[in-house]
Amino acid sequence: MRARYLAFIALAALGACGSGDDGADQPAPAAEVATETAPTATPAAPDADDVDAIPAAFHGRWGLVPADCEPGRADAKGLLTIGTDKLEFYESVATLDDVEEAAPGRIRASFDFTGEGMTWERDMALELEEGGSVMVRSEFGAEAAPDPFRYTKCN
């Protein structure tokens, strides 16, 4: 009798665990592992409205001729030094104003110039070529230089 009693208790205990039909006592199914990887998005060109600095690829010293890059030269009239928000020429400084266009290796913007007691504004584009070792500066507008200026990065 005792054996039947223990068997009955064991059956009752198993019955209390549930039949598993409702899934309430079942472990949650394992998440499926994705076999495909998400496509890699190509970085979008920055929107001109979001750009408020000259891209770092342009920063540094640039010369119209090799002698402009020689350190300590007082007569380096073709030397152009570019920073975060300004272009420093031999006798003038241009401060970044409004960016019209921004793309990797290119920026077109208006710049506020000061130099030799005068102020003026110029619309210019800076564009990198030859893997970033050459920069072309083009001016636009009524008083703009007719031809672009071609600079080489100083070492």
Q: Where are the domains of the chain?
A: 48-153
**Cα angle, residue 52 at apex, residues 147 and 58 outer, rounded to 5°:** 50
Q: What is the separation of C-alpha 81 from the centre of its chain, rounded to a whole number of angstroms?
A: 21
For residue 35, pLDDT beyond 60: no
pLDDT digits (tens, 9 = 90+) for 51-109: 789 999 999 999 999 999 999 888 999 999 999 999 999 999 999 999 999 999 999 99
pLDDT at position 50 is 62
Half-sphere exposure of 57 (CA within 13 A, CB side): 16
- Retrieve residue 51's tokens: 């750009």
Predicted confidence band at 18 (pLDDT cuts at 50, 70, 90)? Answer: very low
What are the DSSP E strand ranges found in 1-155?
60-63, 79-82, 86-88, 93-103, 106-115, 118-129, 134-140, 149-153
Give the range among 24-38, 55-69, 123-137 with minimum mean pLDDT.
Answer: 24-38
How far apart are the C-alpha atoms of 72 and 74, rounded to whole Å? 6
Count Cβ atoms below 10 Å from residue 62 Cβ, excluding itself: 25
| Phi, psi (rounded to 5 degrees) for 66 | -55, -35
- Retrieve residue 82's tokens: 């570019």
Mean pLDDT for all residues in the chain: 79
